[in-house]
Amino acid sequence: MDRRLFLSATAACLALGPARATQAFSFPSIDGGTYDLLAWRGQPLLVVNTASLCGFTGQYDGLQRVHEAYAGRARVLAVPSDDFAQELGSEAEVAAFCEVNFGLTLPMTTIQPVRGPRAHPFYRWLATAHRFTPQWNFNKVLLDADGALVATWGSRPEPMGRRIRSAIDGLLSA
Protein backbone atom coordinates (compact mmCIF):
# COMPACT_ATOMS: atom_id res chain seq x y z
CA MET A 1 0.00 0.00 0.00
CA ASP A 2 1.31 3.40 -0.97
CA ARG A 3 2.25 5.42 2.15
CA ARG A 4 0.47 8.55 0.86
CA LEU A 5 -2.72 6.56 0.20
CA PHE A 6 -2.57 5.08 3.71
CA LEU A 7 -2.03 8.48 5.33
CA SER A 8 -4.84 9.97 3.28
CA ALA A 9 -7.24 7.17 4.25
CA THR A 10 -6.19 7.43 7.90
CA ALA A 11 -6.76 11.20 7.94
CA ALA A 12 -10.17 10.73 6.31
CA CYS A 13 -11.10 8.11 8.92
CA LEU A 14 -10.20 10.42 11.75
CA ALA A 15 -12.21 13.24 10.21
CA LEU A 16 -15.26 11.08 9.64
CA GLY A 17 -15.25 9.36 13.01
CA PRO A 18 -15.77 5.65 13.71
CA ALA A 19 -19.35 5.32 12.39
CA ARG A 20 -18.45 6.45 8.88
CA ALA A 21 -14.78 5.54 8.73
CA THR A 22 -15.26 2.80 6.17
CA GLN A 23 -16.64 5.28 3.66
CA ALA A 24 -13.13 6.69 3.16
CA PHE A 25 -11.60 3.43 1.95
CA SER A 26 -10.91 2.23 -1.54
CA PHE A 27 -9.59 -1.05 -2.90
CA PRO A 28 -7.82 -1.74 -6.18
CA SER A 29 -10.01 -3.89 -8.44
CA ILE A 30 -8.67 -7.21 -9.71
CA ASP A 31 -9.92 -6.11 -13.15
CA GLY A 32 -8.24 -2.70 -13.01
CA GLY A 33 -9.57 0.52 -11.55
CA THR A 34 -10.68 1.09 -7.99
CA TYR A 35 -13.62 0.29 -5.76
CA ASP A 36 -14.37 3.39 -3.70
CA LEU A 37 -16.62 2.61 -0.75
CA LEU A 38 -17.97 6.17 -0.90
CA ALA A 39 -19.58 5.26 -4.22
CA TRP A 40 -21.46 2.43 -2.48
CA ARG A 41 -22.85 4.61 0.30
CA GLY A 42 -26.54 3.99 0.84
CA GLN A 43 -26.31 0.19 0.52
CA PRO A 44 -25.27 -2.48 3.00
CA LEU A 45 -21.91 -4.04 2.17
CA LEU A 46 -20.67 -7.56 2.88
CA VAL A 47 -16.84 -7.70 2.76
CA VAL A 48 -15.21 -11.14 2.75
CA ASN A 49 -11.51 -12.05 2.80
CA THR A 50 -11.14 -14.94 0.37
CA ALA A 51 -8.57 -17.48 -0.80
CA SER A 52 -8.66 -19.76 -3.84
CA LEU A 53 -7.06 -22.81 -2.23
CA CYS A 54 -9.01 -22.85 1.05
CA GLY A 55 -11.45 -25.50 2.22
CA PHE A 56 -14.10 -22.74 2.34
CA THR A 57 -13.54 -21.70 -1.30
CA GLY A 58 -16.90 -23.26 -2.21
CA GLN A 59 -18.46 -20.26 -0.46
CA TYR A 60 -17.72 -18.27 -3.61
CA ASP A 61 -20.98 -19.80 -4.92
CA GLY A 62 -22.87 -18.31 -1.97
CA LEU A 63 -21.17 -14.93 -2.35
CA GLN A 64 -22.22 -14.85 -5.99
CA ARG A 65 -25.79 -15.74 -5.02
CA VAL A 66 -25.84 -12.92 -2.44
CA HIS A 67 -24.49 -10.56 -5.10
CA GLU A 68 -27.27 -11.58 -7.49
CA ALA A 69 -30.09 -11.77 -4.93
CA TYR A 70 -29.42 -8.28 -3.55
CA ALA A 71 -28.34 -6.59 -6.80
CA GLY A 72 -29.02 -2.88 -6.61
CA ARG A 73 -29.88 -3.07 -2.88
CA ALA A 74 -26.71 -4.41 -1.19
CA ARG A 75 -23.12 -5.07 -2.25
CA VAL A 76 -20.60 -7.87 -1.84
CA LEU A 77 -16.84 -7.32 -2.02
CA ALA A 78 -14.40 -10.24 -2.16
CA VAL A 79 -10.90 -9.45 -0.89
CA PRO A 80 -8.42 -12.17 -1.89
CA SER A 81 -5.63 -12.54 0.65
CA ASP A 82 -2.60 -14.78 1.04
CA ASP A 83 -2.27 -14.11 4.78
CA PHE A 84 -3.01 -17.79 5.45
CA ALA A 85 -0.86 -19.06 2.53
CA GLN A 86 -3.84 -20.31 0.51
CA GLU A 87 -4.09 -17.86 -2.37
CA LEU A 88 -2.82 -18.30 -5.89
CA GLY A 89 0.32 -16.45 -6.96
CA SER A 90 -1.15 -13.60 -9.00
CA GLU A 91 -4.28 -11.58 -9.56
CA ALA A 92 -4.55 -13.01 -13.09
CA GLU A 93 -4.58 -16.55 -11.66
CA VAL A 94 -7.18 -15.61 -9.03
CA ALA A 95 -9.45 -13.92 -11.59
CA ALA A 96 -9.21 -16.88 -14.00
CA PHE A 97 -9.79 -19.43 -11.21
CA CYS A 98 -12.89 -17.59 -9.96
CA GLU A 99 -14.33 -17.07 -13.43
CA VAL A 100 -13.77 -20.67 -14.60
CA ASN A 101 -14.80 -22.43 -11.39
CA PHE A 102 -17.50 -20.13 -10.02
CA GLY A 103 -18.55 -17.73 -12.79
CA LEU A 104 -18.01 -14.81 -10.42
CA THR A 105 -19.25 -11.40 -11.47
CA LEU A 106 -19.13 -9.83 -8.00
CA PRO A 107 -16.56 -7.12 -7.27
CA MET A 108 -13.15 -8.51 -6.28
CA THR A 109 -10.03 -6.67 -5.18
CA THR A 110 -6.41 -7.41 -5.88
CA ILE A 111 -4.66 -9.69 -3.37
CA GLN A 112 -4.54 -7.75 -0.08
CA PRO A 113 -3.09 -8.37 3.39
CA VAL A 114 -5.89 -8.44 5.98
CA ARG A 115 -3.87 -8.93 9.18
CA GLY A 116 -1.00 -7.20 10.90
CA PRO A 117 0.89 -3.99 10.16
CA ARG A 118 0.76 -4.48 6.37
CA ALA A 119 -3.02 -5.02 6.34
CA HIS A 120 -5.12 -2.92 3.99
CA PRO A 121 -6.27 0.25 5.87
CA PHE A 122 -9.87 -1.04 5.94
CA TYR A 123 -8.76 -4.13 7.87
CA ARG A 124 -6.52 -2.05 10.12
CA TRP A 125 -9.56 0.11 10.91
CA LEU A 126 -11.56 -3.00 11.76
CA ALA A 127 -8.77 -4.21 14.06
CA THR A 128 -8.25 -0.86 15.75
CA ALA A 129 -11.78 0.52 16.00
CA HIS A 130 -13.69 -2.75 16.38
CA ARG A 131 -11.15 -5.34 17.51
CA PHE A 132 -11.97 -7.56 14.57
CA THR A 133 -9.20 -9.32 12.67
CA PRO A 134 -9.90 -12.21 10.29
CA GLN A 135 -8.86 -15.44 11.95
CA TRP A 136 -8.98 -17.40 8.69
CA ASN A 137 -10.19 -17.11 5.12
CA PHE A 138 -13.83 -16.30 4.35
CA ASN A 139 -14.41 -14.19 7.47
CA LYS A 140 -17.35 -11.89 6.79
CA VAL A 141 -17.94 -8.25 7.74
CA LEU A 142 -21.31 -6.52 7.28
CA LEU A 143 -21.52 -2.74 7.12
CA ASP A 144 -24.72 -0.73 7.07
CA ALA A 145 -25.62 1.86 4.42
CA ASP A 146 -23.62 4.51 6.31
CA GLY A 147 -20.51 2.33 6.60
CA ALA A 148 -20.93 1.43 10.28
CA LEU A 149 -19.98 -2.08 11.35
CA VAL A 150 -23.08 -4.20 11.96
CA ALA A 151 -21.77 -7.75 12.35
CA THR A 152 -18.80 -10.03 11.79
CA TRP A 153 -18.69 -13.76 11.22
CA GLY A 154 -15.94 -16.32 10.97
CA SER A 155 -15.48 -18.76 8.11
CA ARG A 156 -18.28 -21.22 8.79
CA PRO A 157 -21.51 -19.24 8.23
CA GLU A 158 -22.59 -19.62 4.63
CA PRO A 159 -23.08 -16.33 2.75
CA MET A 160 -26.66 -17.31 1.84
CA GLY A 161 -27.29 -18.81 5.26
CA ARG A 162 -30.06 -17.57 7.54
CA ARG A 163 -27.79 -15.53 9.85
CA ILE A 164 -26.22 -13.42 7.13
CA ARG A 165 -29.36 -13.04 5.01
CA SER A 166 -31.37 -12.03 8.09
CA ALA A 167 -28.83 -9.36 8.94
CA ILE A 168 -28.85 -7.97 5.38
CA ASP A 169 -32.65 -8.13 5.20
CA GLY A 170 -32.89 -6.31 8.53
CA LEU A 171 -30.74 -3.48 7.19
CA LEU A 172 -32.80 -3.26 4.02
CA SER A 173 -36.10 -3.10 5.89
CA ALA A 174 -34.93 -0.52 8.44
Which residues are catalytic, by number?
A: 54
Burial class (CB in 10 A: 0-12, 13-18, 19+), 136: middle
| Gap between the Cα atoms of 6 and 51, Å rounded | 24
| Gap between the Cα atoms of 35 and 77, Å rounded | 9
DSSP letters, 113-129, are --SSTTS-HHHHHHHHH
| Gap between the Cα atoms of 85 and 11, Å rounded | 31
Whether 157 contacts 164, CB under 8 Å: yes
Angle, CA 64 vertex, CA 51 and CA 91 arms, to 5°: 40
26 forms beta bridges with: 36
